Amino acid sequence: MNMRRTTIKDVAEAAGVGVATVSRVLSGGSASPETRERVLTVAAQLDYRPSALGRNLRQRRSGGIGLLVPDITDSFYGRLADGVLACARSAGEPVILGTTGDDAEREAEEIAVLLEQGVDRVVAVPAGNGEIWEPTLRSGLTTVFAHRLAAGRQDVPAVLADDRAGVRTAVDYLTGLGHRRIAYLGGPGQDSRVSVFRQTLGALVDEELIVFARGSRDSAYAAAAGLFQHRPDLTAVLAGGNQLGEAAVLAARELDLRVPKDLSLIMFDDVPWAELCSPPLTVIAEPAQDIGYRAAELVLRAGGRRPRGALLPTELIVRGSCGPRRTQ
């Protein structure tokens, strides 16, 4: 029952060589062909698997890569995580997952846990502002941001969707349909989008129509319902994420606003149910999984270097949730 794991020492003894040699053979160092083969054979026979524990301690870093997302329940982050996992798996690296709830304090805690674990590579959707990351980055942790930047941290490589272009396309599409009073229903960390929203809308911008929800579903619903009740004159909404879109649909239904007759709706993030909705939702698709994969790739390939980030394309997928401005 209580059999010890086989260690490198066992292999060394069984193969009649020193532990140093075994280590070298197994990690690709130099060794004579016959020694190499003998060691490999013995290792296979004993079903030897090097313990990450010993290695990590010696190398003062745990191999794994940390992943911090706001909410693993959100389809977008689920897909993003899936991309990270796919890349990590192909590299044989474990992934330590933490959720921040878009809360700076929780983010800091999760970072602390990761550091304690000796994780030295992190993919994160940053929640707090850049300062939180200061000591972390200084301590030599390779970080890649995904999906969004931390305020005031242009020095960290990031893999982003080109949502600025997405916003432009969406706004142009809506104004093209005749809409003038267009709302933006945003979530945490979408300042950059909103600035483009303002820019593109130009003279049409109406600050009252720009509202923000915190991360939760409840908050999203409250924001949407509040917006619709307070400003029944709006005719189109751009929802900044799938949970916000969901809230918008729900709130609209609750208030008997018909989509797209009374209200045109565009949602960021193409989720499977967007097609099942009635009407099917027009969306700006973001390559969530690619974002995750690329970010993981960057963080793995980074050999101490600071890699450049990436900007992935978004796509407006027109379905049935937008129509011409209602004439009332």
Partner DNA sequence: CATGTTCATGGAAACGATTCCATCATGGTT
Partner DNA sequence: AACCATGATGGAATCGTTTCCATGAACATG
- Of the candidates 17, 81, 149, 266, which one interacts with DNA according to CB under 7 A? 17
Minimum distance, C-beta of residue 236 to a copy of itself, in the bound complex (Å): 19
Q: How far apart are CA 84 and CA 289, in angstroms?
A: 8
Task: Determine which residue in the list 1, 2, 3, 30 makes contact with DNA, applying CB under 7 A.
Answer: 30
Contact 128, 107 (CB under 8 A): yes
- Please choose, from the candidates 189, 205, 202, 193, the residue with its C-alpha nearest in 3D space to the C-alpha of residue 167: 193
To 10 degrees, what angle do helices 242-254 and 217-230 make? 50
Number of residues that bind DNA (CB under 7 A): 33
Residue 81 binds which of a copy of itself, DNA, none (CB < 5-8 A, kind-dependent): a copy of itself
d(Cα 56, Cα 46) in Å, to the nearest integer? 22
Nearer Cβ to a copy of itself, position 248 or 310? 248
Q: Which does 73 bind (CB under 5 to 8 A by kind): DNA, a copy of itself, none?
A: a copy of itself
Burial of 146 (0-12, 13-18, 19+ CB in 10 A): buried
Q: Maximum Cα–Cα distance for the chain, whole Å? A: 90
Distance in Å, CB of 85 to a copy of itself, minimum? 6
Find the helix or strand (DSSP H, E) in which 151 lies. none
Nearest distance from C-beta of residue 307 to DNA, angstroms: 22
**Which residues in 212-228 are b (16+ Cβ under 10 Å) and which e?**
bbebebebbbbbbbebb
Joined together, the tokens standing for residue 63 give 């191999």
Residue 303 lies near DNA (rule: CB under 7 A)? no
Which residues are at the interface with a copy of itself (CB under 8 A)?
Answer: 5, 49-54, 56-57, 60, 62, 64, 67, 71-75, 78-79, 81-82, 85, 89, 92, 94-99, 109, 112-118, 217, 243, 246, 249-250, 271-273, 275-278
Task: List residues binding DNA (CB under 7 A).
Answer: 4-5, 7-9, 16-24, 26-27, 30-32, 34-36, 48-51, 53-55, 57-60
